[in-house]
Amino acid sequence: MESRKIRVGIDTGGTFTDVVAVDEESGAVVTTKTPSTPADPAQGFLTGIEKVLAKLGETGDAIGAVSHGTTVATNKLLEGKVENLGFITTEGYEHVLEIARQSVPDGYGNSYFWVKPDRIVPADRVRTIGGRLAFDGSEIRPLVEDDVRMAARFFADRGIRTIGVCLMHSYANPSHENRVRDLLLEEYPEATVSISSQVLREYREYERSITTLVDAAVKPNIRNYVNNIANRLREFSSDEGEARDIPFYVMKSNGGVLSAKEVVHQPITTVLSGPAAGALGAALIASVAGVEQVLTCDGGGTSTDVTVVVRGEPALTTEGRVGAYPSKIPMIDVVTVGAGGGSIAWQTPEGTLRVGPQSAGADPGPLCYGKGGSEPTITDAHVLLGRIPPHLLGGEIPLDTELARKGVEQLAHQLKLDFEACATGILEVSAWNQANALRQITVKRGLDVRDFTLVTFGGSGSLLACRLVDILGLKDVLVPLNPGNVSAFGLLTVDVRNDYVQTHVCRHDRLEIEELQSGLDALAAEAERALADEGFGESERKYARSADLRYLGQAFEVRVAIGDGPVTQELMDEAAERFHQAHQELYGYDFRGDPHQHVEWVNLRVSGIGPIKRPTLNEIAAGIGAESAVTGTRPAYFDEWVTTQVYDRARLGAGDVLEGPAVIEEFSSTIPVHPGFQARIDTFGNIRITKIADSNGANR
C-alpha cells in the first residue's frame, strides 16, 4: 500500500475551480485550474483532483487529505434563495424578525425613505410556543409540549421541512430548545431543525434568531453537497479493490477547517468559506516575504473579496453579514464587491456606465468565451485592450476577441463613446468599485490605507493593481506565485478550529474569579471534545481564550484576549486594560481611571485549535535578467496604444526587474504593469510592483 502523502486544497469559485496539491515527502507543490460546473459543482471538484494527480503522476491511493473551500452557502444567501423555511419562538415574540434593529444602512443612501428588507421567514410561517426562561436560565414557566407538536403538524401539513428554533434566553439554558428539537423530529422526522443554543449561545434575540434561521436555510444544501463530495471521493482510492474514506475538511468562515462529518451540523460556519481561505493564504505568503500590513484583493470571475491583515492575522468580526442577512458567527472580516472578471458592463436608464454586480459567471461566461454570453464584461475589456492574451489557462481556453469587440462596440455606441474609451471606462469603474471596498476595510475602520501593501491574487485580482495604487496611494503591490491558486493554497495552511461562546454579563468590579473560571472551563471542555473527535491527541490541542467587553451602557463590545492559565484578579485586570487600549485605538478615547465609567464583561469565548502541518515556501533561483523572459510584444492600451513587451513569469528569477508598459503572463493569471511602474521579483518569487520615483523623489 502506498503512503498517504498528498494533501489537496480545492477552492470552487464562480468561474474556475482552483487546485493545489503538496507532496509532504518531497515538498513539491503542484497547481492547476479547471472550469467550475455550476449545474453540478462536484463535477468540477473531481475533475480538478484528476488533473492535479495526473500532473504529479500519482493515483488516488496517494491522497492523505482534501481541504475544500465552497461557495454553496454563500451563493444561496447572496441570491436570496431562502424559502420553505419555518420559525418557532417564545409566545409573545412572534414579531422579533419584524422589529429587527433600528440601524439604517448608509444613512438612507440617496432615498428619503428606507424600507426594511423582506423577512427571512414570512409572518404566516412563524409559530409561538408556551414556556419561558429567565435571563439566568432559570425556568419561569414550563415548556408547553402540545404547542410544539401543533407547530410540527402545522409545518408538516404545508411541506415546510426546514425549521429554525430560537427561544428567549436559551443561550443561558438550552433545555427547552433541546426538548423542542426532539419533539419536532419525533412528530415530523423529515424536518431539518436548527436550534439557537447550538448555533449561537449569545444574547440579542434578533441576531440569534437570524443566525439560527440562516443556519437552517443552508443546512440541506451543505449536507447534500458535502455528503455527495465525500461519497464521490471514495472513487479515487481503493485498498486492494475496496474504496476508502479520504479525510475531507471544509473551510470555515473563522479561518479554520472542520471535517465534513462535523460541518454538516454547523453549516452556517461555511458562509464565507472561499474568501477566508484566500485571506489566510495571502497572509502567510506576505508574512514570509516580510510584509505585515497587508490588504488582500482576491479577484475571481464573479466578485472581488478584500480583507485586512495586520501582523500576519486577518481581521475577525462577529458583525458580518452575507447578502441581506446578518450572521453573528466569528468570521474573517471580508468585504465583497461585484467586480470579477465576468462582471457585466451595462448602461443605466440615466445613460451612465455601470459594472456589476450581475455576472456572466462560468456559464455562459464573458462574450469572448464563445459560449453564448450576450453582454460585455470586464474580461472582454481586458482582452480587447491587450491587457490579457487571447486565451486563458496557458491556451486551454481560447478567447474570441471578435465576439468581445462586437459587444463592447455596441455598448460604446449606446454611451456615445469611442471603442477605447468604453473599454477603458469599464476597467476604471471596476477599479473604483474595488477601491471603495478597500476603503471600507481600512478608512471606515480608522486605518490609513496608505500604510498597506496590496496582495493581489485570484484569476483577475492583479489586473487592476496599478490603478489601485494610483487611486488609493498604496505603498506597493505583492503578487504571489500562482496567484490564481492562492485560495486553494490557503486551504493547506489552516488549522482545525472550533469557536464556542457563552453570554456572561457582569460588571468588571463585581466579576467573581470562580464564575469566570467555571464559564471558561465549560467552553474549553466543549472545544476539547470536538478536537478529540477530530483525532487530535491531548498534547496537540491548543486553546485561545477571549472575551467581549464594553463600557457600562454601551450597545456593542470590543473583543480582547484573555491570558492563559488559571483565572486570577491580575488576569482579569489585564483583560480590562487590553479593552481600554483597544477602545482607544478603535475610537480615539477611553475611560481608563474614570471612577464613574465601569467596564462590563458580556461574552466569554474559547477557540479549540488542532494544528495542521503547513507547506513550506521555498526561495527561487536568482534571475539572469528580465530580458531573458521576454516572449514577444503586442499592442496594449494604457491611455494610448503602445507596443508592450510580454514576459513569461516562469522564466523570471529573483532580483529580475522590469518596467512598464509590460504584461507578465502565467498559467493562472496575468499582471499588466502600467507605464510609470516597476516590477521586481523577490527571493520567494513574488512580484513586487512599485511606482517609479522621478528625479525629485516623488512618485510618478
Could you read off the pLDDT of 655-691 as tens digits, one per residue? 999 998 999 999 878 999 999 999 999 999 999 999 9
Query: pLDDT value at position 581?
Result: 92
215 and 84 both lie in a single domain: yes
Report for 184-188, 260-264, 287-291, 329-333: range of highest mean pLDDT = 184-188
Domain that holds residue 51: 6-76+228-268
DSSP 365-390: -SGGGTSS--S-BHHHHHHHTTSS-S
Give the integer Cα–Cα distance in Å for 403 and 300: 22
pTM exceeds 0.85: no
Q: Same structural domain for residues 134 and 257?
A: no
Give the pLDDT mean for 198-204: 89
Alpha-carbon torsion (604, 609, 615, 620), positive or negative: positive
- In a domain, residue 279? The reply is no
Which set of grid coordinates corresponds to residue 235? 472513487
Does residue 244 belong to any structural domain of this protein?
yes
Query: What's the mean pLDDT in 494-514?
Result: 92
**Alpha-carbon dihedral of residues 659, 665, 669, 672, nearest 10 degrees?**
30
B/e letters for 201-221, b = 16+ CB within 10 Å, e = fewer, are: bbbbbbbbbbbbbbbbbbbbb
**CB neighbours of 22 closer than 8 A, spacing ≥ 6?**
6, 7, 28, 29, 30, 492, 615
677 and 588 in a common domain: no
Give 508's contacts (C-beta < 8 A, 6+ positions apart): 549, 572, 576, 598, 599, 600, 601
- Supply the pLDDT for residue 362: 64
Confidence of residue 132 (pLDDT cuts 50, 70, 90): very high
Is 291 inside a domain boundary? no
pLDDT value for 109 = 45
247 lies in some domain: yes
Q: What is the pLDDT of residue 171?
A: 92
Residues 33 and 161 in one domain: no
Among all chains, which residue has been given the C-alpha cell 457600562? 552
Backbone torsion region of residue 80, taken as left when φ is above 0, otherwise alpha when ψ lies between -120 and 50, otherwise beta:
left
Instruction: State the alpha helices, DSSP H only, in 473-592.
Output: 486-490, 513-533, 569-587
Enumerate the H helices of 57-126 as residue ranges.
72-78, 96-99
Q: Do the domain assignments include residue 107?
A: yes
Note whether 121 and 166 are same-domain residues: yes
Same domain, yes or no: 186 and 257: no
pLDDT value of residue 365: 81
Instruction: Pull the grid cell for residue 107.
Output: 444613512
Task: Please write down the long-range contacts of 541-546, taking CB distance under 8 Å and 24 or more positions apart.
Answer: 541/608, 541/609, 541/610, 542/608, 542/609, 542/610, 542/611, 543/606, 543/607, 543/608, 543/609, 544/606, 544/607, 544/609, 545/520, 545/604, 545/605, 545/606, 545/607, 546/605, 546/606, 546/607
- What's residue 125's pLDDT? 95
Q: Which three cell numbers stand for residue 95?
A: 414579531
Average pLDDT for residues 496-504, to the nearest whole number?
A: 91
pLDDT of 300 reads 78
Residue 351 lies in a domain: yes
**Other beta carbons less than 10 A from residue 328's beta carbon:** 23
Instruction: Say whether both 255 and 188 belong to one domain.
Output: no
| Mean pLDDT of the 519-542 span | 92
pLDDT band at 139 (very low <50, low <70, confident <90, very high): very high
Mean pLDDT of 641-649: 96
> Residue 249 and residue 261: Cα distance in Å, rounded?
9
Residue 387: predicted pLDDT: 93
In a domain, 317, yes or no: no
Q: Return the C-alpha cell found at 483.
A: 496567484
Handedness of CA 41, 43, 48, 53 (dihedral sign): positive
d(CA 284, CA 294) in angstroms, rounded, equals: 11
| pLDDT reported for residue 452 | 94
What DSSP state is assigned to residue 93? Answer: -
Residue (of 316, 318, 301, 302) closest to 211 by Cα position: 318
pLDDT at 695: 43
Share of the chain above pLDDT 90, in %: 49
Residue, of 535 and 686, whose pLDDT is higher: 686
Q: What is the number of structural domains in the chain?
A: 5
Across the range 226-244, mean pLDDT stands at 73
Q: What is the CA radius of gyration of the chain?
A: 26
Q: Is 316 within 8 Å of 329 (Cβ atoms)? A: no
pLDDT band (50, 70, 90) for residue 632: very high
Neighbour-count burial for 372-390, b at 16+ CB within 10 Å, e otherwise: ebebbbbbbbbbbbbbbbe
Residue 259 host element (H or E): strand 257-259
The backbone torsions φ and ψ at residue 352, rounded to the nearest 5 degrees and listed phi first, read -100, 165
Residue 275 covered by a domain: no
Average pLDDT value for the chain? 87
Closest CA to 467 of 201, 675, 158: 675
CA atoms within 13 Å, Cβ hemisphere of 102: 1
- pLDDT the model gives residue 110: 45
Over range 183-197, report the average pLDDT.
Answer: 95
Q: Mark whether 510 and 401 lie in a shared domain.
A: no
Strand 238-239 and strand 242-243: the pairing is antiparallel
- Between residues 146 and 392, which one has the greater pLDDT? 146
Are 109 and 134 in contact by the 8 Å Cβ rule? The answer is no
84 and 54 in a common domain: no
- Give the CATH number of the domain where residue 537 resides: 3.30.1490
Please check whether residues 89 and 68 belong to one and the same domain: no
Cα 585 → chain centroid: 25
Supply the pLDDT for residue 14: 66
> Considering only CA atoms, which of 113, 71, 126 is closest in space to residue 323?
71
* DSSP code at position 458: S
- Judged on CB neighbours under 10 Å (0-12, 13-18, 19+), 502 is middle
Residues 546 and 632 in one domain: no
Which residue do the cell numbers 500500500 mark?
1
Neighbours of 505 (CB within 10 A): 13
pLDDT band at residue 79 using 50, 70 and 90 as cut-offs: low
Verify that 85 and 65 share a domain, yes or no: no
For residues 552 and 549, give the distance between their C-alpha atoms in angstroms, rounded to a whole number.
9
The 3-state DSSP class for residue 352 equals coil
pLDDT of residue 273 exceeding 70, the answer is yes
Question: What pLDDT is recorded for position 548?
Answer: 94
The string of pLDDT tens digits covering residues 439-477 is: 988 888 778 899 999 999 988 889 999 999 999 999 999
